[in-house]
Chains A and B, each alone.
Chain A
Amino acid sequence: MDILINGIGLVLNIETLLVIFLASLFGIFVGAVPGLTATMAVALLVPLTFYMDTIPAIAAIVTTSAMAIFAGDIPGTYLNIPGTPASAAYVGESYALAKKGRAREALGINLVCSVFGGIFGTIILIVVAQSLAEVALQFSAFEYFWLAVLGLSCSIFISVGSRIKAFLSLLFGVLLSTVGLDMMSGAPRFTFGVPDLMAGINFIPVMIGMFALNELISYYGSRSEKKNIGIDDSDSVFRQVPNHLKRYWRNMVRGSSIGTLIGALPGAGADIAAWISYGVGKGRSKEKEKYGTGNVEGIVDASSANNSGISGAWVPALVFGIPGDSITAIVIGVLYMKGMNPGPTIFMDSTGMIYALFLVFIVANLMMLPVGYAAIRLSKLFILTPSRILMPAILCFCIVGAFAINNSVVDIWLMLIVGLVAYLLAVNDFPMAPAILGLVLGKVVENNFMSAMLRTGGDLTSFFARPISAGLGVAVILLWCSPLLLRAYRRYRANRAAIAP
């Protein structure tokens, strides 16, 4: 009991609470600026954490990352430019809602789902961290391969419009992911002698190019100064939330569970969690046709998944010192630095540190409600500022954001080139979101496939040799065949109906 009180004391003091508050403002800023992501925000915090105590340092990271993942939805909703890749899955839904004058409603449900997802993930972390980490540790290259293929397939099946175009867009992303040093052979691919390209293509400049540059070109290409998004006085942040929750609470719980599980897997993070959850949500929805037209259901699924993924990623990080995503990869370094060595011992320590850490998660997620609310109210600025002033400013943020990821001009070039290609694709009705996912997951699919083949000497049946791997594999194949099966079933029914009379 003393340990618990000690732990609470470590969090509920002025310094830590102030850090949480400031970090949440920082997170909102970073998340809302297209081109700055949660991972980058945490990387930028690392030097600062050198001068902080353990708990404030962790609090700053937890708060910033949770807040940034939520805030990524703000520019997504108002400008159709997702602030972070984790928002890319459902940016279409929230932008469509905003066009109907329901921007605040979309962000309100988003905020509540994010808070719920974050806390859900935390509770899982507190209660079953050890056993969940055991499950996560069962995942080898075979399982990751299937999981990534599942994510890729989702992006095609949930996209609106032509499947062929979604497929080509996805391949474009996969092709971008093959640029750089091939991990398996160490050979450079498509680098054209540019050393910076050996590092591969970072998805942040690509995302800025695909979404932001595309919007900017469209704006300067059109004559209209009129906003797509209007202000509707009846639009309120929280008024509709109880209704939606009553209707979609199952989606919220399902999204959070999927998010936590995927987040806990090393090598899959919040962005994949959002995609898969959105895909599962659509697959099980009774109103599939509403997807893509501003459906709250999809937002509920995906936005609770990405925030619970952030919490879930801490599970293997704390239990085994193995990062669950790119943020916890940085966190582990900070934990070591602060003498809080990850591993089973962290749960047995007697100074209350671990309770303090859990409490930090809860407080940070609860802090999202007021700060997020204020941010949603404030984001009216996106509407009030005339486009002719807002758009040039966004362009500058994009340039600087692309540069900041590696402090390299090559990334600005990348943003420019990919942006131009993406513009050509977008005016021809190619969806952009599958390309982002292809870029994020392409490497995961390839590296795990090659790694598995290398160790089994090219035996393809090995993908079905392990139980989890076989299960995932069957799921993927069923997903692929589902349109065919469905069509066959319908034809069978139609035939029977025709014969019956």
Chain B
Amino acid sequence: MRDLFAGLAFFAAGVATIMMARQFPTLPSLQYGPSLFPTIVGVGFCLGGAALAVNALLARRQLALARGTDNAPAPATQRMRPTMVLPPLAVLFYILASDYLGAALTMAMIMLVLMLVRKTAVVVAVIASVVVALAIYFVFSRYLLIPLPQGVLFEGGLPWIF
């Protein structure tokens, strides 16, 4: 059943890709150009998606024939907890907040929340998140010279560590 949706989604993505590729320019000396490969990918998406959907339908009919009914329940999938949205939200939070809060504080906050969600002892969570955040910050900005955002909040430096 899910394969049916996945197949249809790929088919739609294929059509969208082909539409967008049509706007690309062509090379002067050839009939094709930058649009060729995206178009091939789009066609591939359509064909593959269609094949997937058709297979899913056939499999479903066979299943139904085998069981003699058409309303066989879908195989039970593992129920996911709503906390699954936390990692992407954490990344989003970092993107939005790190310029203001600075990389170190943002990371510490993310880790603290994520640890507490999984019922880590509060003391352990606070210590672990602060230590790891500072370690990452120092290794990357000091030794690997990656310009991690320092944070508008701490503009002018943190005298007690710098």
Contacts and interface: CB of A to CB of B under 8 A. Distances in A.
Asked if A and B touch directly (CB within 8 angstroms), the answer is yes
B132 A396 contact: yes
A403 interface: yes
Contacts of A190: 20, 38
Interface in B78-94: 78, 80-81, 83-88, 90-92, 94
Nearest to A176: B41
Given A175-B17, A223-B81, A396-B107, A454 B30 contact: yes
A44 B145 contact: yes
A360 B110 CA distance: 43
Nearest to A443: B37
Interface in B100-151: 103, 107, 110-111, 114-115, 117-120, 124-125, 128-129, 132-133, 136, 140, 144-148
B83 A221 contact: yes
Interface string B28-63: 011101101110010011001101100100000000
Contacts of B65: none
Nearest to A183: B34
A412 B95 contact: yes
Contacts, number: 162
A389 B120 contact: yes
A415 B91 contact: yes
A445 to B, nearest CB: 8
A218 B81 CA distance: 9
B60 to A, nearest CB: 15
A189 interface: yes
A164 B120 contact: no
A457 interface: yes
A322 B52 CA distance: 44
Contact of B80 (A222, A387, A396): A222
A171 B87 contact: no
Number of contact residues on A: which range applies?
35 or more
A458 B30 contact: yes
Contacts of B118: 220, 225, 387-388, 391
Contacts of B85: 220
B145 to A, nearest CB: 7
Given A178-B37, A217-B88, A442-B37, A458 B45 contact: no
Given A171-B48, A391-B118, A395-B111, 12 more contacts: A174-B41, A175-B45, A392-B114, A393-B111, A395-B90, A395-B91, A400-B136, A400-B146, A420-B88, A450-B36, A453-B30, A454-B29
Interface of B: 2-3, 6, 10, 17, 20, 24-27, 29-31, 33-34, 36-38, 41, 44-45, 48-49, 51-52, 55, 78, 80-81, 83-88, 90-92, 94-95, 103, 107, 110-111, 114-115, 117-120, 124-125, 128-129, 132-133, 136, 140, 144-148
10 contacts: A44-B144, A164-B55, A185-B26, A190-B38, A220-B117, A391-B118, A392-B115, A400-B107, A404-B140, A454-B27
